[in-house]
Amino acid sequence: MIEHRLIERVIRLWEGLLDTVEEGKAADTELLAYGIDFMHTYADRCHHGKEEDILFRDLKKKNLSPELARILRELVDEHVISRNTVKELSCARERYIAKEKNALNDILAALKVIVNLYPAHIQKEDKRFFIPCMEYFTSPEKEAMIREFEAFDRNLIHEKYKSLVKGMESAKGVKPQK
């Protein structure tokens, strides 16, 4: 839930960007780029990754109440919507920079999806899901999950920058090293 507070800060920045663009001003492509990287790496890969790869995986082994099982499915669906919308936003940003005609409308549409999705998504997780689902785990299971979360976080930085270097090598025609 601590990670949600940082995600909320980016959503607030994007709400401001959305207001600015709706007023007819230019889109801040730098803010979009930083936000897209944040949403892809931190919100989706790190935060959603831990939820989907660890917490949700372990919850699926439990006999959840129908309500929690329903919320779990909704959360996974919302992660997919977020992931796809951030990809759309990234493409729209590139098209906007290239001065394509409808790119700004696509930026607006994607921003609206994200800024409307996340507050409700976070509230659902914080208020109706995370705390009740912890009752399904023993103390040793929770401790093991925390250790797995920490290992996940440690490995993520290496994953991100190995991918970045591989992309730079590819762009320069250099054969990637292992």
Q: Which residues contact 84 (CB under 8 A, 6 or more apart)?
A: none
Domains of the chain by start residue, with CATH: 2-137 (1.20.120), 138-178 (no CATH)
**Model confidence over 56-85: pLDDT tens digits?**
999 999 999 999 999 999 999 999 999 999
User: Does the pLDDT of residue 144 top 90, yes or no?
Assistant: yes
pTM of the model: 0.87
**Mean pLDDT along residues 149-176:** 85
Output the pLDDT for position 164. Answer: 80
How far, in Å, CA of 79 to CA of 59, rounded? 17
User: Does the pLDDT of residue 156 top 90, yes or no?
Assistant: no
Output the pLDDT for position 155. Answer: 87
- Structure tokens, 51: 């939820």
- Tell which phi-psi region holds residue 24, choosing left (phi > 0), alpha (psi between -120 and 50) or beta: left
**Mean pLDDT along residues 5-26:** 93
The band of 159, judged by pLDDT with boundaries at 50, 70 and 90, is: confident
**Model confidence over 21-55: pLDDT tens digits?**
999 899 999 999 999 999 999 999 999 999 999 99
Helix count and strand count (H, E) for the chain:
8, 0
Question: Both ends of the chain: CA-CA distance in Å?
Answer: 36
User: Does the pLDDT of residue 102 top 80, yes or no?
Assistant: yes
The set of long-range contacts for 113-116, using a CB threshold of 8 Å and a minimum separation of 24, is 113/81, 113/85, 114/11, 114/14, 114/39, 114/82, 114/85, 114/86, 114/89, 115/11, 115/14, 115/15, 115/18
